[in-house]
A and B are shown apart, each in its own frame.
Chain A
Amino acid sequence: AQSVTQLGSHVSVSEGALVLLRCNYSSSVPPYLFWYVQYPNQGLQLLLKYTTGATLVKGINGFEAEFKKSETSFHLTKPSAHMSDAAEYFCAVSGPNTDKLIFGTGTRLQVFP
């Protein structure tokens, strides 16, 4: 069985500050891990993903995430927040070779000027 836990349903940061969104996973098979972003009144879009290989993955808009097997974590970071980063972020997990994802409950990011 697989699951993800996103710590913090709401995160607020100032513009220019570090963004850290937390995700922990549980998986009985080697996990594929994803971060999706949902801007207001839009569907979700893929931000970045980890499948195999390099554990630090870079995504769009300056975001990156690091797969840490020992901590069962896949936290999302961005060094400097921008107002346009305000959105809801979803962590997701799947097994290899499947598109059936299990999503977390989401974290809403607010960015203050």
Chain B
Amino acid sequence: DVKVTQSSRYLVKRTGEKVFLECVQDMDHENMFWYRQDPGLGLRLIYFSYDVKMKEKGDIPEGYSVSREKKERFSLILESASTNQTSMYLCASSSGQGTGELFFGEGSRLTVL
């Protein structure tokens, strides 16, 4: 069964802390994505990666960075967490064949105090 695994389901951090959210996929997919999900705003794309070490900004990249050193792993980094980054973060992957079918992880709910 295909799988996208996010390392932490729930995290609580303090303002100013550096936060790492990890995502691993086992489908040998080319593309990986980080979305942020907020009530009433739907899903907003933070960053995506179409190849190892390649990345592209999404719609709301400010305050975030990403790393993709290996094909199966895509990390989202909050350099200095702020309270307005409290949210649900969803990782997804896709084959890269342009089918539009994304496979999502279960999400990481981050609370910044």
Does B54 sit at the interface, judged by CB under 8 A? no
Which B residues lie within 8 Å of A43 (CB)?
4, 90, 92, 104-107
**A79-95 vs B, Cβ < 8 Å mask (1 yes, 0 no):** 00000000000101010
Let me know if A103 and B43 touch, CB within 8 A: yes
Let me know if B106 and A41 touch, CB within 8 A: yes
Choice from A34, A45, A106 contacting B100 with Cβ under 8 Å: A34
Choice from B40, B95, B99 contacting A9 with Cβ under 8 Å: B40
Let me know if A101 and B42 touch, CB within 8 A: no
Alpha-carbon distance between A44 and B90 when the two chains are bound, in angstroms = 9
Alpha-carbon distance between A86 and B80 when the two chains are bound, in angstroms = 37
Let me know if A100 and B45 touch, CB within 8 A: yes
Kindly report which residue of chain B lies nearest to residue A33, judged by CB atoms. B100
For chain A, the count of residues having a C-beta within 8 Å of the partner chain is: 26
Give the size category of B's interface with A. Answer: 20 to 34
Does A98 sit at the interface, judged by CB under 8 A? yes
Let me know if A90 and B42 touch, CB within 8 A: yes
Which A residues lie within 8 Å of B105 (CB)?
43
Which B residues lie within 8 Å of A9 (CB)?
40
**A30-48 vs B, Cβ < 8 Å mask (1 yes, 0 no):** 0010101000011111100
Does A70 sit at the interface, judged by CB under 8 A? no
Restricting to B34-84, which residues have a CB under 8 Å from any CB of A? 35, 40-45, 48
* B interface, CB within 8 angstroms of A: 4, 31, 33, 35, 40-45, 48, 90, 92, 94-96, 98-102, 104-107
Extra 11 A-B pairs, beta carbons < 8 Å, given A34-B100, A44-B102: A9-B40, A36-B102, A51-B100, A97-B98, A99-B94, A99-B95, A99-B98, A101-B102, A103-B35, A103-B44, A105-B41
